[in-house]
Structure 1
Amino acid sequence: MSRILMLSWEYPPLLVGGLGRHVHALAGALAAAGHEVTVVTRHAPGALLEEHTEGVRVIRAPDDPPAFEVTGGDLLPWAMAFNHTLTRAALRAARGRRYDVVHAHDWLAAHAAVTLRDHLDVPLVATVHATESGRHQGWLPAAHNRTIDDIERWLCAEAARVIVCSQYMRGEVTRLFGVPAERTEVVRNGVDALRWRARPRAVAAARAEHAGPDGPLISFAGRLVYEKGVQHLLAAAPRLRDRFPGLRVVIAGDGPYRAELAGLAGPGVTFAGFLTGHDLTALMAASDCYVVPSIYEPFGMVALEAAAAGTPVAVSSTGGLAEIVEHGVTGVRFAPGEPDALAEAVGSVLGDLEYARALARQARVRVREEYHWPAIAAHTAAVYRGVLPAPAALPDTGTERLLSGRRGPLLDLGQRAVRAAS
């Protein structure tokens, strides 16, 4: 079993997007399999600085007093300060303990990860959940975007193995950063199917709150940034309302693009803010269709979460989404960035109840069979074993040669002594 020091910039109760949910589920599944897991992450208001939960030791690094304001989307000053406190917290966590591997999630933990690798003298594994180039469709407009791209490239070069969540992302890190295929491993994200089963009463309450009296409900949940493509869902909404009067659209989440999106929204669109836990699960389960209109999506875990909630999904045919949703079987797909195609795909679900139910049933089965966390944790543990040094060979004392029969007379003498004693 491995002793893992895992670094992440988000972890419950502090969640920003899907990365924190991924790290939380992976750490818990590894611990359940018998591995020793320490997660070092950012402190959240009201959370303990150290605790053991779900078999995982969680260390939360508080911010240093100097404040680093994020302006114009430039996270770099804040990220560098965060890496200082993350490194110190991880070094304190490592006192008196031995670890086999450091596992970093994304560029926001890169500097701390490389420092810890060198200090602890253990291999570094990095999971690249997304790239700066991908988030900006290949355009790196500002100096901080280009620096983040350089940090991602550096992290991939320093890591003994790079984990990605899809074949699409394997191609991206190969193309952008020159990571050879033998140093990448595709380990898909997982879903705890039971976690996304909403109680009927909660579903009814969400339906009463968000749906109209005589029309369908469609929803989206995620960080409100350009690459999530919510603008295309809003552009498609009037077409869908023409076909399905009374249709409501709920946008759950927050982010820097919210104000601009609100300016694009028409009648029947509600911005619900950031939802977590049972509220998000209930919204998904109450929806007649869950839409993932991303322009860029390395994997698309939220589509699996909606499927686990029993909701038919419509996703853009891009990135990892194209790999996890089989059109007409486990959901429907549409061309990214095309509101007409989105409206047609969602309309095919809303307009045929039996078709929608069949998609939802098959998707839920697929989630249970192919995306359960114990198997994903086992795959990740195999990546760890692949980077660990081989055990040192014991010095040859002659015992192996004796027992192998290469010293025949001595072996024969020992065998005769055993027979005589018996």
Structure 2
Amino acid sequence: MSSSPVSTSLPAQPYGRPPLRTVQVLGGGAGAGSSAHVRSLATGLAARGVRVTVCAPVHAEGEYDFTGAGAQFAPDAVSVLRAACAGADLVHAHGVRAGMRAALAMRGRRVPLVVSWHGDGPTAAGALGRLSRALERHVARAAAVVLGASSDQVDLARLRGARDARLAPVAVPTGPADTGAAADPGKVRAELGAVERPLLIAVGSLVPHRGYSVLLDAAQEWRGLDPMPLLVIAGEGPLRAELSRRIEAEGLPVRLLGRRRDAAQLLAAADLAVLPSRWEARALLAQEALRAGVPLVATTVGGVPELVGEGAVLVPPGEAGALASAVTGLLADPDRRAALAAAGRAQAATWPSEDDTVAQVLSVYDELMERTRR
């Protein structure tokens, strides 16, 4: 989704001081939320006179147009990242894996490293879990400041040894659905085959922690409703074949849409949004649903309760019955849906704007630059 320009209310670099040179590092596994955040951040920083280089996979540049935001783009090859960091005053990595790559590229240089923990997922068990925890410890201790997207991320960073961990909620970028450029909801519903039936939507990569297997379990119970709801899932990932087999074998009213650039328009046309995740930090779907006034059913995991407040129906993770009951209850109660939509918009109004997010990040940069000048 495209990002709107960020306000330039703050002044550029102080008189006589050279422009701050930053490198924003995105790893290959970066999700839509962190990629959109870097695009928004690059826009705001560049507007304030900061020189921004974004090191990211080539496909991310094609989708998020970092150069169009005023940044210089560099592929995330090791040698390119090392060269970019060599010319930077400050490096900001987004995600633990990106933080590790940045720390290695900066080895031997006295340049501040900021790491945003957007949420890399729950720690696995066994040897893989031990490796993940070791990675988190190394990155937490290498960073001058860790910025957590939710309170649980801040707590985790401190547990892993971060010297300085702060809450830094990430604003969801403004997209076409917020500027009046959205497609006609009736047309969208017709294209999806949901003209005279409820439309439910889930958005996110098809990976285990998204909880889509539980969502399909819940969809079995919706088959008895009249009219039968249609669930569409926008996203791509390694579980596509497994989910497709289940949908076909069990005759579930579910469509896998693959990766979509029009997720905001799909969401605006839906009756309900569903977030069945086993773990989330500051879920992009939750932010977009509440801001658009689309009733949301989500799980009580990670930073979700803190994010949505009273603006969503929350159910325990992994419980298909509770998820199905929450959805069917809302579909049968239009007044409650309307009240929930209003509560969601009110909750969204309390979140920081893109301008607020950029200003907070820039204040951290300025603080770190002052430390280095002492």
- TM-score w.r.t. length of structure 2: 0.84
Number of the residue aligned with 2:9: none
CA drift at 1:199: 4.1
- Aligned-residue Cα RMSD (Å) equals 2.8
The answer (yes or no) to whether the contact 2:194–2:230 under 8 Å persists in 1 is yes
Give distance in 2, aligned partners of 1:170 and 1:244.
45
Find the counterpart in structure 2 of residue 242 from structure 1.
Answer: 224
CA contact (8 A) 1:10 1:19 kept: no
Q: CA shift at 1:109, angstroms?
A: 2.5
- Measure the CA separation in 2 of the matches of 1:113 and 1:196: 35
Question: Which portions of structure 1, spanning 4 or more consecutive aligned residues, are displaced by more than 6 angstroms?
Answer: none
**1:98-177 mapped onto 2 (5 Å cutoff):** 99-118=88-107, 120-131=109-120, 134-136=122-124, 139-140=125-126, 142=128, 146-175=130-159, 177=160
1:391 and 1:238 mapped to 2: Cα distance?
59
The residue correspondences of 1:359-398 to structure 2 (distance < 5 A) are: 359-390=340-371
- The reply on whether 1:354 has 2:354 as its aligned counterpart is no
- Tell me the distance in 2 between the aligned counterparts of 1:231 and 1:94: 41
CA pair 56-368 structure 1, distance change in 2 beyond 3 A: farther
Cα distance in 1, alignment partners of residues 285 and 140 from structure 2:
26
Measure the CA separation in 1 of the matches of 2:45 and 2:126: 36
What's the CA shift string for 1:87-125, capped at 9, x where partnerless?
x22344467x5x331111223333441244345531111
- Rate the CA distance shift 1:135–1:199 in 2: closer, same or farther, 3 A: farther
Distance (whole Å) between structure 1 residues aligned to residue 54 and residue 170 of structure 2:
18
Return 5+ residue gaps in structure 2 as ranges: 1-12, 14-19
Structure 1 alignment gaps of length 5 or more? 62-84, 394-422
Which amino acid in the other structure matches residue 344 of structure 2?
A: A
- Give the letter for the 1:9 counterpart: G
Q: CA deviation at 1:350?
A: 1.6
Structure 2 residue identity aligned to 1:303: A
Structure of larger gyration radius:
1
In the TM superposition, what is the alpha-carbon distance from 1:239 to its structure 2 partner? 2.0
Offset at 1:200? Answer: 5.4
Q: Aligned to 2:279, which of 296, 302, 315?
A: 296
Within the alignment, does 1:253 sit opposite 2:235 as a pair?
yes
Comparing 196-205 and 252-261, the one that deviates more? 196-205
The answer (yes or no) to whether the contact 2:42–2:66 under 8 Å persists in 1 is no
AA of the residue aligned to 1:267:
L
CA contact (8 A) 2:202 2:233 kept: yes
Q: Counterpart of 1:306 in 2: which secondary structure?
A: helix
**Distance verdict in 2 for CA 1:211–1:323, change over 3 Å:** farther
State the partner residue of 1:305. Answer: 288
Cα-to-partner distance string for 1:16-36 (whole Å, 9 max, x where unaligned): 532212222222222234432
- Deviation per CA, 1:375-414, whole angstroms, max 9, x where unpaired? 0111112222333344757xxxxxxxxxxxxxxxxxxxxx
Q: Give the partner amino acid of 2:231.
A: V
Deviations 1:171-207 (A, max 9, x none): 22333x1335xx1011112113444336454422221
Residue 160 of structure 1 and its aligned partner are, at CA, apart by 0.8
1:320 to 1:179, Cα distance in 2 relative to 1, 3 A: same
The 5-angstrom pairing of residues 256-335 of structure 1 reads 256-265=238-247, 266-276=251-261, 279-327=262-310, 330-335=311-316
| Distance in 1 of aligned mates of 2:60 and 2:305 | 38
* AA matched with 1:162: V
Contact 2:293/2:345 (CA < 8 Å) preserved in 1?
Answer: yes
Deviations 1:54-99 (A, max 9, x none): 22222224xxxxxxxxxxxxxxxxxxxxxxx23x22344467x5x3
The answer to whether 1:218 aligns with 2:200 is: yes
CA distance in 2, matches of 1:169, 1:40: 24
> Could you say if the C-alpha distance between residues 376 and 335 of structure 1 is closer, same or farther in structure 2, counting changes exceeding 3 Å?
same
What's the secondary structure of 1:5's corresponding residue?
strand
Number of residue equivalences: 351
In structure 2, what is the Cα distance between the partners aligned to 1:162 and 1:123?
A: 11
Contact 1:162–1:185 (CA under 8 A) maintained in structure 2: yes
